[in-house]
Amino acid sequence: MVAVTIKKMLIANRGEIALRVMRACYEMGLETVAVYSKADENSLHRRFADSSICIGEGDPSDSYLNISRIIAAAEISQADAIHPGYGFLSERADFAAACKLSNILFIGPSSGIIERMGDKAKARETVQALKIATIPGTKVLASKEAAVTAAKKIGYPVMLKAVAGGGGRGMRLVRNEQGMFSAFEMASTEARKSFSNGDMYLEKFIGKARHIEVQILADKFGNCVHLGERDCSIQRRRQKLLEETPSLFIRPKVREKICAAAIKIGKQIKYFGPGTVEFLVDEKQNFYFMEMNTRIQVEHTISELYTGIDIVKEQINLCCGHELRYKQNKIIFRGHVLECRLNAEDVANNFMPTAGEIGRFHVPQGLGVRVDTHIYSGYEVPPNYDSMLAKLIVWGLNRDEAINRMSRSLKELVIEGIPTTKLFHLQLIESKEFRQGNFHINFLENFQFQEPK
């Protein structure tokens, strides 16, 4: 197999992930092309790219989700590769297929792999064939009535989930039969709007579980390694707010088994590039496969600081057909890493997303501190997109040092002009429960945020 050589990368995304990909491209000697909507006319990802092309209005369907416009932008700019980032088109099999049809390298796995693992029901069947445990559940549900019948067999509470997509969208916790019909309608509508697919399935709800995911890297020659696990259990509305590695909860032998299971899945489907295999782990440390994300993750950053491996550079090299440069026994895991997602949200108002102009803005600095962001003082946060403003990532020799460093960094951080989750994160990491590691995926339901006076 001959590796593909590329010179110019179009980044089919916005915000901090577009900037993150650009940094990797610059260090690899690649030219970059930004696409932007009219709402992002003053965005940093447009300013820092070698060239940029406007692809439509602020609504994502008119811009970042418009495949034909993005392909046209790549052809006009003569880009020979497209990086989708995360979200938007990153897990759309038809986008990967459109790139191939236009002779443009898609920086991600093949459309076949995306389709196989992006369909949660098909992914469950694939994993079950490998004798890896999955959460008790159903195949695609034909109707709301079918969901009620299935839930009675599984036993309430259950999780209603979209077959396509992720990020907490198209998901509802259903505690009884009375709530099923409205939950099904809302979840299906949300999934259809977000992923153009309203199909749903059910899973048994596991209380006080941990959300543990494993980062893998694989090449086109059958080699696959893991970069450790990430604990993503701090969530609201099934969306992650804080991640850390390694997990304080997982026992060493369980860690070995869960990482081995992730590699087994990657090899079975002939995966290539970085991928994330997600599991739920119950109180007895039994683990169950949930899904596989066939893209770069928001929280890939903590695995980078934990191992010293630039995952985006590896992604580009692996998708170009290069052999994996790392052997499992040569990967060094060092220290402890935390990431806080700083969102434009009003925590006291049920994490309501907000928009507006950023006032004073200052990022923390010092040893072991990294900030990935696209905002600046005077930046107008648009209402059209995800509410994340920045990711604050800290490394420490151990968990206590990482927590103390995160606390210091959050206090040093200044984002004025709109409500953010900064104070929420500060209260969370300084809480007794978090410091002791006593949390789970439903922990925030009872966490009392104290509004500043």
Q: Please list the active-site residues.
A: 295
Residues 342, 391: Cα–Cα separation, whole Å: 6
Q: Please name which of 331, 416, 435 lies closest in space to residue 375, comparing C-alpha atoms.
A: 416
Q: Cα dihedral sign for 278, 241, 299, 107?
A: positive
Closest CA to 291 of 312, 303, 277, 280: 277
437 CB-side CA count, 13 A: 13
| Cβ density class 43-59: b for 16+ within 10 Å, e for less | bbbbebbeebbbbbebe
DSSP 362: E
Q: What angle do CA 81, 89, 30 make, to 5 degrees?
A: 25
Cα separation, 331 vs 193, in Å, equals 41
Total count of residues recorded for the chain: 453
Q: At what angle do helices 311-319 and 300-307 cross, to 10 degrees?
A: 100
Give every CB contact of residue 28 below 8 A, 6+ residues apart in sequence.
313, 316
3-class secondary-structure state, position 185: helix
| 406: its two tokens | 């995160």
Taking each continuous run of H as one helix and of E as one strand, the counts in the chain are: 14, 22
The C-alpha atoms of residue 140 and residue 146 are separated, in whole angstroms, by: 10
Closest C-alpha among 145, 148, 201 to residue 170: 201
| DSSP line for 86-129 | SSTTTT-HHHHHHHHHTT-EESSS-HHHHHHHHSHHHHHHHHHT
Contact in structure between 348 and 449 (CB atoms under 8 Å)? yes
User: What phi and psi, each to the nearest 5 degrees, are found at residue 397?
Assistant: -60, -30
Based on C-alpha coordinates, what's the Rg of the chain?
21
Residue 199 identity (one-letter amino acid): D
User: Which residues is 339 bridged to in the sheet?
Assistant: 243, 393
Phi then psi for residue 28, to 5 deg, are: -95, 0
> Quick one: which H or E segment has residue 406?
helix 399-412
DSSP helix/strand/coil, 242? strand
